[in-house]
Amino acid sequence: MGCGGSKDSSGDDNRRRLLLLGSSGAGKSTLFKQVKILTTNGFNYDNRKDAKPGIYQNMSEACKKLIAIGLKHNYKISDKTVAAGEKLKSLEIDIANQETIEEFKKLIKRIWR
């Protein structure tokens, strides 16, 4: 990841522009979201609504990877956990559908136990 800065053309010597470069998934957007949280009142309703699908997707991917790594390295993982991971793979998360969200929560709890 690289970045470069230049003076802002507004004439304010304390203000800089920043070009942040990096591949997809490198955390460029995350950095600015974190800055927003630290320097403002955080996320409004629309921000939270927009972030939910990504959060659910990230949680799902993380659980699947943890199970796969555990199995690869012969860790003791219960059959119930493996089954929950398999079910999670096929679950299409629809944040507008409370039934889907409840199923997702149930699977995540089973995996983390």
Cβ within 8 Å of residue 38, ≥6 positions away:
none
Rama region for 52: left / alpha / beta (φ>0; ψ in -120 to 50; rest): alpha
Burial of residue 85 (CB within 10 Å: 0-12, 13-18, 19+) is: buried
**What are the sequence ranges of the domains in the chain?**
2-39, 45-112
pLDDT in tens, 55-88: 888 888 888 888 888 889 998 888 999 999 999 8
pLDDT (0 to 100) of residue 103: 92
- End-to-end, the C-alpha distance of the chain in Å comes to 36
Burial (0-12, 13-18, 19+ Cβ within 10 Å), 66: middle
pLDDT tens profile 81-107: 999 999 988 888 888 889 998 999 999
pLDDT, residue 51, reads 82
| Model confidence, pTM | 0.59
Query: Rounded to 5 degrees, what are φ and ψ at 43?
Result: -95, 140
The predicted structure's pLDDT at residue 20: 75
